[in-house]
Copies of this chain bind each other. A is one copy, B any other.
Amino acid sequence: MTLSPTPRSTIKRGKNRAVTEREALHAVLDAGMVCHLAVVVDGAPLVVPTGYGRHEDTLYLHGSTGARSLREAATGVPVCVAITLVDGVVYARSVFDHSMNYRSAIVHGTALTVTDPDEKSLGLQVLTENIAPGSWDYARPPSVKELAATSVLKLDLAEASVKIRSGPPGDEDEDVLAGERWAGVLPLHTYWGTPEPDPTLVGDWDVPEHVSGRK
């Protein structure tokens, strides 16, 4: 299945970097933890970082951070969501051809508040599992009061685009032939550090496997 681009989700620049497969969209979304959610407030743009999770072709967004933008979004106004993963810095021979390697997804649509209890629970589950895999089963489930205090938004993935840059720099032939400067890519990686137990834990605890073994 391919994406269904509309004029605003059709990439106009760097077309060779556009990827139209739905699997690629899912892969970018599933690799990220934080999205940037943009809404229009009083005619001006507002963008905030927030957590998200994906279930099939629906993106669920968290309502506990950036509450103002989410209140706007929940009224059924247009939103735009970007997820960006930086994979490295591209050192070209010329300043002009410097770049970054990255994977990026942009989703356009109308965000709706999830009201159905079962779907709200599903949305919270995929949100939680995207940020902290294993926590949905391990941690204390939300109480009725906590559920009521949490807002979950849903956004259909129908209108989306993916852009990926990878590989070496694209220097001009003259710069390559001149042979005067090094060029290449410096990859950027992330890793999980040593778990830091909560100081309020009492007694001896083994760090649970879903935390200590996180890849």
Q: Which A positions have Cβ atoms within 8 angstroms of B?
A: 8, 12-14, 33-34, 36-49, 51, 64-68, 78-82, 84, 86, 88-89, 91-96, 98, 100, 102, 104, 106, 108, 124, 128, 131-132, 135-136, 138-143, 146, 149-150, 168-169, 171, 175-176, 179-203, 205-208, 211, 214
Which of these, B44, B184, B198, contacts A78 with CB under 8 Å? B44
Q: Are A78 and B45 in contact (CB under 8 A)?
A: yes
Q: Are B184 and A196 in contact (CB under 8 A)?
A: yes
A160 to chain B, nearest CB (A): 13
Chain B residues, Cβ within 8 Å of A207: 182, 184
Most buried by B among A91, A128, A214: A91
Q: Are A94 and B142 in contact (CB under 8 A)?
A: yes
Give the distance in Å from the alpha carbon of A98 to the alpha carbon of B36 in the complex: 19
**Chain B: which residue is nearest A206 at the CB level?**
B182
Give the distance in Å from the alpha carbon of A184 to the alpha carbon of B33 in the complex: 18
A136 in contact with B182 given A33-B86, A44-B80, A104-B49 (CB within 8 Å)? no
Give the distance in Å from the alpha carbon of A195 to the alpha carbon of B89 in the complex: 10
Chain B residues, Cβ within 8 Å of A42: 8
A82 to chain B, nearest CB (A): 5
Chain B residues, Cβ within 8 Å of A179: 201-203
